[in-house]
Amino acid sequence: METPEHACPWGQRALQLLRAQGIPFEDHPLRSQAEVEAFKHAHGVTTTPQVFAGAERIGGYTELAKRLGVTAETAEVSYAPVIAVFLSALLINLALGGEIRGYMGLAICLLAMLKLMDIAAFAASFRKYDLLTQRWQAWGKLYPAVELLVGLGMLQSAESMGLEAVIGVTAVLLGVMGMVSVGKAVFVDHLALNCACVGGNSRTPLGVVSFAENLIMGLMGLAMLIQPVMALASGGAL
């Protein structure tokens, strides 16, 4: 059986199932992300763990449970962190009398805070689907700080056109990269992963919500770039 060194919940469930059935097995941990990717490429799979019976590949935990005639456990899913972040941001923004830009700034700052609480866990979870982090691992640890700066930039009044442009471009890039990474993982590779958007230890599934969050960030960044141009055009017309 091939599992990541720090076994995911499905790897742990597969190990527990084999032990419960009294089936002898050998565990071959994959000790780095490079080993995981090499294993996936060699066997044409997109997820780990993978269980083998001799030369025959059975599959992951769900396929193993089916093979043994056991009802597979379902994934624990929770959208509570996402709801808490966006609801809290909404209430704070309403109390401060802010507009949509302030609301998004608060939400992004809160999301960044959750990531910063355990950067290592976030980076490990983020690397499973983020295309840039898979090529440059340091990005996984830099991302929360960059996201926090974008959120703070959205909370600032538009006094400097240069700063506004930098924040806007950064937000657009983060949003587009996020949409591409989530879209590939969910809709192309069909990976069942948790979203790192609310921290590395969440049970929020990667999917439409994650894609929508990145889309909103990208749109907010685009609005920050367009608004000053429209204001200048309007002033010139006068």
Residues 215 and 190 in one domain: yes
Residues 62 and 84 in one domain: no
The residue out of 30, 45, 67 marking a domain boundary is 67
pLDDT at residue number 6: 45
42 occurs within a structural domain: yes
Q: What is the CATH number of the domain that holds 57?
A: 3.40.30.10
Assess contact for 180 and 187: CB atoms under 8 A.
no
Task: Output DSSP code: residue 185.
Answer: I
Residues 158 and 223 in one domain: yes
Which tokens in the block code for residue 131?
A: 């295309």
pLDDT band at 133 (very low <50, low <70, confident <90, very high): very high
- The reported pTM is 0.72
Residues 117 and 29 in one domain: no
pLDDT at residue number 238: 41
Please state the domain count of the chain: 2
Residues 197 and 92 in one domain: yes
State how far the Cα of 51 lies from the Cα of 171, in Å rounded to an integer: 41
- Give pLDDT tens digits for 73-116: 666 678 888 899 999 999 999 999 988 889 999 999 999 999 99
Q: What's the chain's average pLDDT? A: 85
Per the model's pLDDT, the better-predicted residue between 128 and 77 turns out to be: 128
pLDDT at residue number 7: 47
pLDDT band at 234 (very low <50, low <70, confident <90, very high): low
Choose the weakest-confidence range: 138-147, 197-206, 213-222.
197-206
State how far the Cα of 173 lies from the Cα of 183, in Å rounded to an integer: 15
Q: Residue 60 belongs to what domain range?
A: 2-67
Which tokens in the block code for residue 61?
A: 């935990």
73 occurs within a structural domain: no
pLDDT band at 61 (very low <50, low <70, confident <90, very high): confident
Q: Is the pLDDT of residue 9 over 70?
A: no
Contacts 24+ apart (CB under 8 A), 74-77: 75/9, 75/192, 75/203, 75/205, 76/203, 77/203, 77/204, 77/205
Quick one: what percent of the chain has pLDDT higher than 90?
39
Alpha-carbon separation of residue 90 from 38, 96, 101, 106, 164 (angstroms) = 44, 10, 11, 8, 23
